[in-house]
Amino acid sequence: MRHRPRGEDIIRFDSVGLRYGLGPEVLQDVTFALPSGSFHFLTGPSGAGKSSLLRLMYLGLRPTRGRVVLFDRDIANTKRYELPALRRRIGVVFQDFRLLDHMTALDNVALPLRVRGVRESEIRKHVPELLSWVGLADHLGARPSTLSGGQKQRVAIARAVIGRPDLLLADEPTGNVDDHIAMRLMYLFEELNKLGTTIVVATHNEGLVERFAHNPRLHIEHGMVSRVT
Amino acid sequence: MMLFRRRSDLPLAGDATSRFLPWLVALMVFLAAMAVAGAFVISGLMERWDRDVSGTLTVQVIPAGGDHAEAATEERVRVAVEVMRKVPGVLAVKAFDKKRTLALLEPWLGNTDMVQDMPLPRLIDVTVDSDARIDLGEVASRLARAVPGASLDDHRVWLSRLINLSRTMQWLAVVVVVLIGAVTSATVVYATRTGMAVHHGIIEVLHLIGAHDDYIARQFADRAFSLGIAGGLMGLGLALPALTALGWAAKRLEGGFLPSIGLPVLGYVALALLPLLAAGLAMLTARLTVHGTLARMP
Ligand SMILES: Nc1ncnc2c1ncn2[C@@H]1O[C@H](COP(=O)(O)OP(=O)(O)OP(=O)(O)O)[C@@H](O)[C@H]1O
Ligand SMILES: [Mg+2]
């Protein structure tokens, strides 16, 4: 993991607009910057565009207008072959998990490391450790289809953090788990944050926001993003 | 640990491609094996004919008529032999006597009294130095002037026609193999695109966690290679008995005309390489197809 000075912007949006196909603009004139090492919640009503904003941040979509600067790179001027290197610095917990159904939990979590060409011996060491930490020690060989919603969510989280990302984007990461596990997962995020990872968590859970918010939260409504302190 | 056995990230083994691609490659390798074996056999025949025939000429002497036909014919043969001996580049001249000529013709005409009494043309076998440039036209006319009814057969004339035909067939074999390669490639392109569409979701996830295009392309390529090898070996497995059977059939047909047909060692090497070539082609095609398709994605 790269250690960057805290405070320097890790991601910056400048008048970003996004529309799907010919539909209305889901995001309009979104401008904000997140300093490196910060921890933000992203809130807003359902359908407001939280997942869409995260999609722009993890380079799953390109904005229809405006400028996205990630790790000091203007995404519009970034070549296709340069994207993987940027994406490897980002961990994503998708709202719908997007686990690969034909693989075991272990292989799913190992995937980001395999893609990077990490040695199998390393993978064998770290992946079961992390899965145990999220309470899935007994489900290493399970296929996602045999796991509960909350178990899948934890596999998804493990896959997002296994590569020690500089930026962690989590979309409703505690939506399917009880309060006890939700706390545990938030502590995991806090630990990562202390080690330097910038974190954005989209959530509806006000209690969680109350309890863990240290930095201004981002709130989306009517296509606009505002900072709430 | 069993959980970590080596496998691809894409579940390609279950795709429809896995079922039809090996059979298609098998068929293609089978056809290519036929074409390649044919080309080798033809080139072997060409060499044999060339070696057997290029050093020889045949003079044919029409028997004389009249009262002392027999003696007059002998005289013609003697003169013709003398004329040929004087040609520079001629190594040996040997006239077949009547008995020998009859023996040569026996398989076709039998050996009856009637045949014995027939006025048969007499043959003179001439061995020439194959490097010598002999003006055959000039020799033929000199011979015709000296001996009425003598003519010169140059085997090289019909041989060169045969060689031209064989060359054409060899080129045809090359064209057939190239076409087979093109069909195989086109099928692999189609199969790969279909596979990419089926596994679009997985490919997207791989991208989002930082996979390079080549990481994904390699998985399709590996799969295409193993399907290609399986199909290629199957095709070769079918081609070898078929070729052996053809060889037997040819041996039984074979008169003195066809020298024994056999595949040279190089021919077997070429056949053994076909499955590898097919698999390599499939692998390369799959890889390029994935790169091409991904490059057009955002
Ligand atoms: N792939 C898509 N194609 C077209 N429209 C989309 C697509 N994804 C999202 N939208 C639209 O964009 C808007 C924002 O959706 P988004 O999923 O970002 O909301 P959200 O804030 O994440 O909602 P939730 O809290 O329910 O997850 C919605 O109106 C939705 O219909
Ligand atoms: Mg959402």
What residues of A are in contact with residue B12 (Cβ under 8 Å)? none
Whether residue B212 lies within 8 A of chain A, CB to CB, comes out as: yes
Range scoring the smallest mean pLDDT among A131-145, B95-109, B278-292: B95-109
Closest by Cβ to B3, choosing from A106, A111, A163: A106
Q: State the pLDDT confidence band at B212, using cuts at 50, 70 and 90.
A: very high
One-letter amino acid at B81 equals V
- pTM of the shown model: 0.77
Ligand nearest to the CA of A171: 2
3-state secondary structure of B283: helix
What span, in angstroms and rounded, lies between the C-alpha atoms of B152 and B140? 6
Q: Residues B263, B267, B273, B277: is their CA dihedral positive or negative?
A: negative
Joined together, the tokens standing for residue A24 give 């209305």
Per-residue pLDDT tens digits for B143-191: 888 888 888 877 666 677 777 888 888 898 899 989 999 999 999 999 9
- For ligand 1, whether the C-beta of A57 sits within 6 Å is no
Residue with tokens 């596994």: B199
Is residue B262 predicted with pLDDT exceeding 90? Answer: no
Contact check, Cβ <8 Å, B210/A140 = no
Task: Return residues with CB closer than 5 A to ligand 2 (ion).
Answer: A 50-51, 95
Whether residue B213 lies within 8 A of chain A, CB to CB, comes out as: yes
Q: Which residue of B has its CA nearest to A123?
A: B4
Contact check, Cβ <8 Å, A60/B205 = no
Q: Which long-range contacts (CB under 8 A, 24 or more apart) does A76-82 make?
A: A80/B213, A80/B295, A81/B212, A81/B213
Q: What is the pLDDT of residue B5?
A: 37
CB neighbour list of residue B102: distance below 8 Å, 6 or more residues apart: B111, B115, B116, B120
Q: What is the pLDDT of residue B6?
A: 43
Q: How far is the CA of B208 from the centre of ligand 1 (A)?
A: 19
Q: How far is the CA of A51 from the centre of ligand 2 (A)?
A: 4
What is the average pLDDT score of chain A? 89
Question: Who has greater pLDDT, B52 or A160?
Answer: A160
Contact check, Cβ <8 Å, A115/B202 = no
Q: State the pLDDT confidence band at A19, using cuts at 50, 70 and 90.
A: very high
Distance from CA of B35 to the nearest CA of A (A): 43
Strands A25-35 and A167-171, bridge-based pairing: unpaired
Residue A17 near residue A29, CB atoms below 8 Å: yes
**Nearest-CA residue for atom 24 of ligand 1:** A46
Q: State the pLDDT confidence band at B4, using cuts at 50, 70 and 90.
A: very low
Residues of chain A with pLDDT > 90, as a percent, come to 57
What span, in angstroms and rounded, lies between the C-alpha atoms of A83 and B155? 71
Residue B278 near residue B231, CB atoms below 8 Å: yes
Per-residue pLDDT tens digits for B120-130: 788 888 888 87
Contact check, Cβ <8 Å, B210/A124 = no
Per-residue pLDDT tens digits for A24-80: 989 998 999 999 999 999 999 998 899 999 999 999 999 999 999 999 899 988 888
Q: Which residue of B has its CA nearest to A127?
A: B4
Q: How far is the CA of A174 from the centre of ligand 2 (A)?
A: 13
Residue B293 near residue B203, CB atoms below 8 Å: no
What span, in angstroms and rounded, lies between the C-alpha atoms of B211 and B160? 61
- For ligand 1, whether the C-beta of A24 sits within 6 Å is no
What residues of B are in contact with residue A103 (Cβ under 8 Å)? 9
Distance from CA of B20 to the nearest CA of A (A): 22
Residue B286 near residue B196, CB atoms below 8 Å: no
Closest by Cβ to B209, choosing from A85, A87, A107: A87
Q: What is the pLDDT of residue A101?
A: 92
Q: Which residue of B has its CA nearest to A89?
A: B210
- For ligand 1, whether the C-beta of A52 sits within 6 Å is yes
Domain boundary assignment for chain B? 7-51+159-296, 63-149
Whether residue B158 lies within 8 A of chain A, CB to CB, comes out as: no
